A and B are shown apart, each in its own frame.
Chain A
Amino acid sequence: MAEPQRARPKPTPETQHFWDGTKAGELRLQRCDACAHVYFPPRPFCPSCAARKVSVFKASGKGFLYSYVINHRPAAPGFTPPYAIAVVELAEGPRMMSNIIDCPQTPEALELDMKLEVAFEALDDKITLPVFRPAKG
């Protein structure tokens, strides 16, 4: 029997640009052309002012650790516990769920507000996930 696989996202027409971005090594967000609100997850209108004219842009990839759990059990398929499930606040404002790499998965190492930068982890030839590592310098 095959190893259990990590849950694999299936893009929709509204989110395809995001997943194209991660595959190209870019974290893409959207900004409202009318009110400049930056938001996530993707949708083709502004959730703040309802304008339909919005632009996709490459985010800085910088952020900080807003909160997390270190999951022990039950572990999701494809994960070896303990592993941190983090929420990252991006420099542009939105928050997103992710994982923290290149860092011990311990309360001591995972300090709230620590600076993070985006990295990319290919699941297969179509899907690449945005993950975060402690920022250098």
Chain B
Amino acid sequence: MRKNQVAVVGAAETTELGVIPNASQLQLHADAALNAIADAGLKLSDIDGFATAVETPQQVCHYLGIKPTWVDGTSVGGCSFMLHVRHAAAAIEAGLCKTVLITHAESGKSMIGKAPRSIPADSLQGQFEAPFGVYGPPSMFPIPVLRFMKTYGITHEQIASVAVVQREWAAKNPRAMMKDPITVADVLNSRMIAYPFRLLQCCLVTDGGGALILTSADRAKDFPRKPVYIMGTGESVETPMVSQMETFNSSRAFKTAGPLAFKEAGIAHKDVDHLMIYDAFAHLPLFGLGDLGFMPHEETGKFIADGNTRPGGKLPLNTNGGGLSYMHSGMYGMYALQESVRQMRGIAPAQVPNAKISVCHGVGGMFAASGTIVFTNER
């Protein structure tokens, strides 16, 4: 794909984030969509392309009254929205549609109008993982951590520092769920969930949603908001079974998607002003920094513990507070994208001064899938 041919011209989260007991999951999709439509200064009838995950495109389009000529229901977990951005950019460039709406919403906490996740007993996961006591992401996502730590000499304190630093960012975000400062000791003394991870190393469980609107870069200049260009994109999948990853020392999906996006954007790591790495659990930023090639994996723990990703650090990371402290409805990728867009527009609560390039990296499932988007505010 050619870079900077497509731009984000509308971006918004749901009116409320956190605990939303008065709206179904489908209504949260609509709330986010209507906010994004208003942000872009458009009408629903202007939308001719639509993408969403978990809920089907037909469900959300019918509810909103949208009549699309291009749809994408790619649903690979929390990074689905990164893949939607990539697919939408290609579709717009190919002339399949002009204005794409991407929605995410999840009643992750209140569970209103949300189908429970279940694992069929005759699936491979149902036969070869579920019988051994995995029960939800906290029992699965951290399974690679001890191997990763041993291979690279990463310490418990270093991984705990991920949560501490992100809480510092969250404190600057009025909409963040958790804003009180925490220490490494607080993290390491919080309730055990699945050793080696404790409560403060696991993502929040909340309600919310978000939506993006994309159109061609040539049209983007006529919109009310500062356009945020799609500079590079990447995607991949590996396996739905965490036990079957090629290695626990890295993520193959990360190592495929990330470098693709950097190559397409034509940027080097030193060009990155702002970085989002989907943090469902505290080890993900370490995998991300290594797999995206920012530094050898051995250095990732020390890099974060030394404060390089905190406010004022040389690589601002997860500046909304992340899935650990901002919000996590279950598929957090949309919120990472929203923060990258805010940073590129220059309106983020914890704005990185003069940021011109933002990399937004997502994970789906337990390292099952990945999507990476490079944004820029300069064409």
Contact = CB atoms under 8 A, between A and B. Distances in A.
A12 B124 CA distance: 9
Interface string A44-71: 0000000000000000000000111111
A67 B147 contact: yes
A87 interface: yes
A85 B143 contact: yes
A12 B125 CA distance: 12
A78 B131 CA distance: 10
Interface of A: 6-12, 15, 19, 40-41, 66-79, 82-83, 85-87, 95-99, 107, 112, 123, 129
Contact of B132 (A66, A75, A85): A85
Contacts of A15: 124, 127
Chain B residues touching A, majority SS: mixed
Contacts of A11: 122, 127
B243 A96 contact: yes
B131 A8 contact: yes
Given A69-B196, A82-B195, A41 B244 contact: yes
A83 B192 CA distance: 12
Contact of A74 (B136, B145, B150): B136
Most chain-A CB neighbours within 10 Å: which of B119, B127, B132, B196? B132
B139 A95 contact: no
In this complex, which of A15, A41, A123 has the most chain B Cβ atoms within 10 angstroms of its Cβ? A41
Given A83-B133, A97-B129, A67 B121 contact: no
B194 A72 contact: yes
Nearest to B246: A95
A28 B140 CA distance: 25
A73 B119 CA distance: 19
A73 B147 contact: no
B146 interface: yes
B132 A12 contact: no
B143 A87 contact: yes
Contacts of A99: 132-133
Contact of A72 (B121, B122, B129, B193): B193
**Residue among A7, A10, A70, A112 having the largest count of chain B Cβ atoms under 10 Å:** A7
18 contacts: A9-B122, A10-B121, A15-B124, A19-B127, A41-B127, A41-B241, A67-B143, A71-B139, A72-B192, A72-B195, A75-B133, A79-B133, A85-B133, A85-B139, A87-B248, A96-B243, A112-B146, A112-B147
Contact of A98 (B119, B132, B191, B195): B132
B130 interface: yes
Contacts of A107: 195-196
A6 to B, nearest CB: 6
Given A76-B139, A85-B134, A9 B146 contact: no
